[in-house]
Amino acid sequence: MTRLEQLAQPQTIAPGEEEPSPILIAGPCSAETEAQVLETARQLSASGISYFRAGIWKPRTSPDSFEGVGEKGLPWLQQVKTQFGLNIAIEVANARHVEKALAHGVDLLWIGARTSVNPFTVQEIADALKGVPVPVMVKNPINPDLKLWKGALERILRADVQSVAACHRGFDVYGKSLYRNAPLWEIPIDLKRAFPELPIVCDPSHIGGRRDLIEDISRKALNLGYEGLMIETHPDPDNAWSDSAQQLVPSELLAMLNRLKFRKHQLDDKALLAKTGFLRDEIDDLDGRIQELIAQRMDLAREIGDLKRANNVAFYQHNRWNEIIERVKENSDRLHLNEEFMLKLFSLIHLESIDIQGE
């Protein structure tokens, strides 16, 4: 068993408890003023959140953006603890930040996306964290690189910190997209396959970049069995000094949390297990048939490929692909299937057929 597996705490659910208790982290993107920090904490104080977050040192893309209030914000967070009894969480990006955070009683530290890309910095932080009794969360690196994320987690785990979690904040992809940072859900799913006990917290604010996307992204994360959410929350988001488009006011956050359903990891009811087992058998059978049909389709494509080769015509035929697209759309409509998903699937099948023809 790896260190990561040993250290990560599985989510435990008390018998009879309907919903597991998730890790909920909320608070402003940045600590701006003492009054703003305390007002946000006051509004969140009865919400049952696990940690109050606020960025003290802000890694910003442009040097013209607000780069955080720095050390002078740490006593404001200490007041959040004493006045409202909330645990506090901040981002650390070097050894000095770790030292300052620990000296001010910070309860959870996280390594940001711009830091987890750099093994030198992650190692420096890991060395500063040696044996420290606070949990540490490692955000995914900005670029979609699972190995880099795993490497950063392993460096922190080897430092023997109290517990470690991953935080999924989406990935930078070049070009226009609905999201500020594309979720690429397959990457955290692969991380979970590699480290089944590692808790994963979703950061829908940084994935969406827009407050109207936060709820859907959170729901998706919970449906996938994530252990927690970190959501930027500000009493006056439109006038926030950083990330103003992706913060919720505390009352919106609470309303949203009430609408969301936190899910258990495992089916623990015997009858339910038997029923899902039966349905899964049927699904396995259908999956086998889908693969057999794909094999038949590839055989036909091979035959057509031989004819194309004999007549020296290109394997890709634009008109044919257009015909397939139209048929897939009609069938999706008739069968009530998601058209976008079906087109993606058939685009892959079609490309593979052409590769096979060209072999």
Q: Under the criterion CB under 6 A, does residue 100 sit at the interface with ligand PEP?
A: no
Nearest residue to ligand PEP, scored by beta-carbon proximity: 112
Distances (CA, A) of 214 to 83, 233, 248: 29, 11, 9
Among 49, 98, 109, 113, contact with ligand PEP (rule: CB under 6 A):
113
Measured from the CB atom, is 114 or 297 closer to Mn ion? 114
Residue 169 binds which one of Mn ion, ligand PEP, none, with CB within 5 to 8 A depending on kind?
ligand PEP
Q: Under the criterion CB under 6 A, does residue 184 sit at the interface with ligand PEP?
A: no
Q: Under the criterion CB under 6 A, does residue 180 sit at the interface with ligand PEP?
A: no
Among 4, 29, 86, 88, contact with ligand PEP (rule: CB under 6 A):
29
Query: Which string of DSSP letters, residue by residue, matches 116-142?
Result: TT-HHHHHHHHHHHTT-SS-EEEEPPS
Q: Distance between CA 106 and CA 135 in Å, rounded? A: 10
Q: Under the criterion CB under 6 A, does residue 141 sit at the interface with ligand PEP?
A: no
Q: Under the criterion CB under 6 A, does residue 139 sit at the interface with ligand PEP?
A: yes
Q: Distance between CA 28 and CA 32 in Å, rounded? A: 9
Measured from the CB atom, is 198 or 328 closer to ligand PEP? 198
Q: Distance between CA 21 and CA 18 in Å, rounded? A: 10
Q: Under the criterion CB under 6 A, does residue 234 sit at the interface with ligand PEP?
A: no
Q: Which region, judged by CB under 6 A, interacts with ligand PEP, from 108-116, 156-164, 255-263, 334-342?
A: 108-116
Q: Under the criterion CB under 6 A, does residue 257 sit at the interface with ligand PEP?
A: no
Q: Under the criterion CB under 6 A, does residue 55 sit at the interface with ligand PEP?
A: yes
CA atoms 236, 239, 241, 246: torsion sign? positive
Residue 113 binds which one of Mn ion, ligand PEP, none, with CB within 5 to 8 A depending on kind?
ligand PEP
Report CA dihedral (124, 128, 134, 138) to the nearest 10 degrees. 0
Residue burial 195-218, b: 16+ Cβ < 10 Å; e: rest: beebbbbbbbbbbbbebebbbebb
Find all residues with CB under 8 Å of 197, minimum gap 6, and list them. 4, 5, 8, 9, 10
Q: Under the criterion CB under 6 A, does residue 157 sit at the interface with ligand PEP?
A: no
Measured from the CB atom, is 139 or 234 closer to ligand PEP? 139
Q: Distance between CA 189 and CA 211 in Å, rounded? A: 24
Q: Which stretches of the chain bind ligand PEP, using CB under 6 A?
A: 29, 55, 91, 112-114, 139, 169, 203, 206
